[in-house]
Structure 1
Amino acid sequence: MGRGKVQLKRIEDKISRQVTFSKRKGGLMKKANELAVLCDVEVALLIFSDRGRLYEFCSTESLEEILERYRIHAEEEAAVRKRAEQEKHGVVDDKDKQSQELQLFPKLRSNHGIEMNLAECTDLQTSGNPLQMIQSHLDTQNIDQKSMTELTQLEKEMDAILRQIRLRKTQLMMEAVKAVHEETLLSLASTSSSV
């Protein structure tokens, strides 16, 4: 026989609340671990108790790395939203777009210690087949001979490239939505003026 549905509201009894917190915290951390293992994903979990005590779970060696990835992702998403809002109001031009992209992805240091701007990677923007471009890049990197540190750095570079691709994709989708919205407004305006 299954248990009944629990009403979600604050537990008034202090002892019951603490027991529930302890049990559910353990269950949540167990589920986070299972998700990380089964799906091969990075999971970070932070819990602050009502007394201010910190409980944390991290599926990788460094919680700071996951938090840094989150911070970068959140900044990129905020920049995309800001740019979309500016484009909606017609405030941004091409030079502003390029400078914003450079702020998001200022410089990457390659495995050989050479700094490169993502804006200089024109093959990303002009390549007909990104998979072929990535494969040729990996072939020149001699993956089999890389150390763990070098592979981690290469992964970060690839993540940054992927973020730029997603940023451009989001930008194109926002432009398409804007164009459809403008077409709809024009058709509504022409329909209402002909009536």
Structure 2
Amino acid sequence: MVRGKTQLKRIENASSRQVTFSKRRSGLLKKAFELSVLCDAEVALTIFSHSGRLYEFSSSSLMSNTIERYQKNAKTLSNLRITEEVYMQKLKDEAADSYKKLDHLEDAKRKLMGENIDSCSINELVHVEEQLGKSLSKIRARKNALFQEQIHQLKQQEAKLMKVNTDLKEKCEMLAMSSVPISQPLSPDMEVETGLFIGPPKTKVAHV
């Protein structure tokens, strides 16, 4: 049979309440003792009855030592919680400030793009116009600087190409001069084959 869930509420009958208190108190003290022995933990348990009677258990020699240790740790934890709360609040403030700055920048960007300017005053429009003028001046200056850099690079490339062209022209002229044949005088000892014959002329034989 399944045991039903017991509803926790104050026991109205005084004698039953006293009996339950005695049983539960003994079991709680026993569990505290077992926890200190099995887990080598420092355990302190304090119980006050309805009539104000004190029941306590301490695994250390003195309950006051455990209480003092608890107070030190509780103070440290409290300081840590305060520090964390201050830090979290600081982060929230910084995030809110960042959102405000972002909204301001988005609004300024829209105005520079010519959007949402119907509600702007004359002073705001003059300010936007000045910002655009400064931006255009910087853009033109940067554009002119890039043009000057490109012109300088093109002049350098032109000078390199002219030098290469000059070197190629000189090489072509040298090759042309080396390919022209040069006639050399004949040596006296050299024999030249000709059609001349020295001696009596040959007679022709008539064939019958």
Return the TM-score normalized by structure 2.
Answer: 0.43
Q: Which has the higher contact order (CA 8 A, sep 6+)?
A: 1
Question: Considering only CA atoms, is the larger Rg found in Structure 1 or Structure 2?
Answer: 2
